[in-house]
């Protein structure tokens, strides 16, 4: 029963994600690949689209994956799954456990979870970068199909971001970064093609 | 205006206009509920952020549920949460309908080659911003490094292992070390001084 699976998997993801949308990316990736729901490439394409649309990333991903597997109902069920754990837990805290975040066990648990989540997010970013650059995981063939176009794009994005931050003291928003990168991808691919 | 409807509409507006994930919503929520409406004090806002960070799930949902409950009990929290999630769900469903056809277009695929690089950049940037704020002590550094290496190894050697176990282990280690061992030590030291 695909709707039940979607609901349960996203409920689990909602229950174990601490620290915002980026922390959810590794968990959603595992589920999507385990069930063979989407190709990895398409999954990352979609994260790009999520960055350029409003709303929480986690919810956007749930709706997208749910829709791809079970149409409108699938999208609704997955979204409900990812939202419910938060909703229920916060209701309990707001009504009964007023001093929740002062509790020593809660504080200690969160202190232990934070570095784990950072490790997972950094690993997700680095693996995607390696994939984009088309570096193989073997020493002698590592750079045979190296993707120079992606290297140029990543470098230019990083340069623009740091430049704007240092000179104008402003952080470029994800939407702007996505738009610049789309233009770069189009321009450079057309020049080399 | 009925407070539940006002909650729903305000969160609908926030959900439809915030780009870049949950943390980007915090200033918007503050603007609406602390500055414009005055329903919530600055201190309550900080408390809500603290609670949201120590509970699972998207921060936007946590905040909406919290504010909704405070202003209108269970019905209020349902109205707020529905408001904040509806725009996402509708926009993503519409995009999903066109996504497959759209992505096969050559020019779109060129653009997405660039976007994929931006996504890698954004994820790494998010991680670095968190790492900069990390406690620079032995335990967090060890937990971070072990997780990072393990996650990379999983990717390179292609074995699958749910990250949920890593997160649960982190919580258990945190509780054992910070709540039990360190507290006992402090109590002992206090005892010795006396």
Q: Which of A37-46, A79-88, A148-157 is most confident?
A: A79-88
For the stretch A106-162, pLDDT in tens is 888 888 888 988 898 898 889 889 888 888 777 777 777 788 888 999 999 999 999
- As a whole number of Å, the CA-based R_g of chain A is 20
Q: Where are the domains of chain A?
A: 2-100, 148-192
Domain count, chain B: 2
Give the list of residues 6+ apart from residue B111 with CB closer than 8 angstroms, or none.
Answer: A182, A183, A185, A186
Cβ–Cβ of B115/A48 closer than 8 Å? yes
Question: How far is A162 from A3, CA to CA, in rounded Å?
Answer: 44
Dihedral angle, C-alpha A36, A17, A45, A169, nearest 10 °: -170
Cβ–Cβ of A49/B21 closer than 8 Å? no
Cβ–Cβ of A18/B119 closer than 8 Å? no
Q: Which two tokens stand for residue B74?
A: 């269970």
The pLDDT of residue B7? 94
ipTM of this complex prediction, to 2 decimal places: 0.82
Lowest mean pLDDT of A26-30, A100-104, A146-150, name the range. A100-104
Q: Pick from B51, B85, B103: which residue ends a domain?
A: B103
Contact by Cβ (8 Å): A67, B96: yes
Looking at the structure, do residues B53 and B13 belong to the same domain, yes or no? yes
* Window 161-180 of A, Cβ < 8 Å to B: 161, 173-175, 177-178, 180
> Residue A14: how many CB atoms within 10 A of its CB?
29
* Window 140-179 of B, Cβ < 8 Å to A: 140-141, 143-148, 150-152, 155-156, 160, 162-164, 166-175, 177-179
Give the list of residues 6+ apart from residue A39 with CB closer than 8 angstroms, or none.
Answer: none
Q: What angle do CA A13, A16, A17 make, to 5 degrees?
A: 80
Give the list of residues 6+ apart from residue B116 with CB closer than 8 angstroms, or none.
Answer: A44, A45, A48, A128, A132, A150
Residue B126 domain-assigned (yes or no): no
Checking B60-64 for CB contacts under 8 A at 24+ apart, the result is B60/A55, B60/A56, B60/A59, B60/B14, B60/B15, B60/B18, B60/B22, B60/B25, B60/B84, B61/A56, B61/A59, B61/A83, B61/A86, B61/A87, B61/A90, B61/B85, B62/A86, B62/A90, B63/B25, B63/B26, B63/B29, B64/B11
Using pLDDT thresholds of 50, 70 and 90, give the confidence band for residue A6.
Answer: very high
Looking at the structure, do residues B34 and B89 belong to the same domain, yes or no? yes
Domain span at B35: 1-103
Q: Is B101 on the interface with A (CB under 8 A)?
A: no
Question: How far is A33 from A35, CA to CA, in rounded Å?
Answer: 5
Mean local confidence (pLDDT), B125-129: 86
Nearest Cα residue in chain A from B88? A55
* Window 63-122 of A, Cβ < 8 Å to B: 63-64, 67-68, 72, 75-76, 79, 82-83, 85-87, 89-91, 93-95, 100-101, 104-122
- Percent over 90 (pLDDT), chain A: 38
Question: How far is A102 from B101, CA to CA, in rounded Å?
Answer: 50
Q: Which residues pair with B19 in a beta bridge?
A: A54
Lowest mean pLDDT of A10-14, A26-30, B40-44, B183-187, name the range. B183-187
Residue B116 domain-assigned (yes or no): no
Residue B186 domain-assigned (yes or no): yes
Residue B48 domain-assigned (yes or no): yes
The pLDDT of residue A20? 67
Residue B95 domain-assigned (yes or no): yes
pLDDT at B44 over 70: yes
Residue B122 domain-assigned (yes or no): no
The pLDDT of residue B194? 64
Cβ–Cβ of B134/A27 closer than 8 Å? no
The pLDDT of residue B65? 93
Looking at the structure, do residues B78 and B140 belong to the same domain, yes or no? no
Q: B33 in helix, strand or coil?
A: helix
Tokens 């990895």 identify what position? A40
Cβ–Cβ of B51/A101 closer than 8 Å? yes
The pLDDT of residue B89? 92
Q: Is B121 on the interface with A (CB under 8 A)?
A: yes
Looking at the structure, do residues B94 and B143 belong to the same domain, yes or no? no
Looking at the structure, do residues B89 and B165 belong to the same domain, yes or no? no
Length of chain A: 193
Cβ–Cβ of A75/B89 closer than 8 Å? yes
Looking at the structure, do residues B89 and B147 belong to the same domain, yes or no? no
The pLDDT of residue B21? 65
Give the list of residues 6+ apart from residue A79 with CB closer than 8 angstroms, or none.
Answer: A10, A59, A62, A63, A66, B85, B88, B89
Looking at the structure, do residues B146 and B81 belong to the same domain, yes or no? no
The pLDDT of residue A101? 73
Question: How far is B9 from B150, CA to CA, in rounded Å?
Answer: 44
Q: Which of A79, A118, A180, A190 to mutate to test the interface with B (most CBs of B within 10 A)?
A: A118
């Amino acid at each position: 029963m695909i709707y039940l699976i979607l609901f349960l998997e996203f409920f689990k993801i909602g229950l174990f994600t601490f620290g915002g949308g980026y922390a959810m990316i590794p968990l959603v990736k595992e589920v999507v690949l385990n069930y063979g729901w989407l190709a990895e490439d398409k999954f990352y394409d979609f994260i790009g689209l999520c960055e350029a649309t409003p709303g929480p990333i986690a919810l956007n991903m749930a709706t997208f994956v749910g829709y791809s597997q079970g149409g409108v109902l699938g999208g609704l069920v997955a979204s409900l799954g990812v939202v419910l754990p938060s909703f229920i837990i916060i209701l309990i805290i707001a009504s009964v456990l007023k001093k929740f975040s002062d509790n020593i066990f809660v504080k200690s648990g969160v202190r232990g979870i934070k570095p784990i989540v950072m490790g997972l997010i950094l690993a997700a970013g680095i693996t995607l970068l390696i994939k984009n650059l088309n570096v193989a995981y073997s020493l002698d063939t590592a750079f045979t199909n190296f993707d120079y176009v992606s290297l140029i794009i990543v470098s230019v994005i990083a340069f623009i971001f740091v430049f704007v931050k240092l000179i104008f003291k402003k952080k470029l928003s994800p939407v702007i970064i996505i738009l610049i990168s789309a233009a770069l991808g189009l321009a450079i691919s057309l020049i080399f093609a | 205006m009925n407070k539940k409807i006002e909650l729903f509409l305000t969160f609908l507006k926030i959900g439809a206009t915030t780009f870049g994930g949950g943390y980007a919503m915090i200033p918007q929520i503050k603007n609406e509920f602390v500055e414009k409406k005055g329903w919530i004090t600055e201190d309550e806002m900080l408390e809500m952020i603290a609670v949201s960070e120590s509970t699972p799930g998207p921060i936007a949902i946590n905040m909406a549920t919290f504010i909704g409950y405070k202003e209108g009990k269970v019905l209020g929290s349902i109205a707020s949460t529905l408001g904040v999630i509806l725009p996402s769900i509708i926009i993503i469903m519409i995009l999903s309908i066109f996504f497959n056809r759209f992505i096969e277009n050559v020019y779109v695929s060129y653009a997405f080659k660039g976007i994929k690089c931006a996504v890698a950049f954004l994820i790494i940037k998010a991680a670095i911003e968190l790492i900069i704020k990390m406690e620079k002590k032995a335990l967090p550094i060890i937990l971070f490094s072990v997780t990072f290496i393990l996650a990379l190894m999983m990717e390179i050697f292609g074995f699958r292992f749910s990250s949920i176990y890593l997160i649960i282990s982190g919580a258990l280690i945190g509780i054992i070390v910070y709540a039990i061992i360190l507290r006992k030590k402090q109590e002992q030291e206090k005892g010795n001084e006396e």
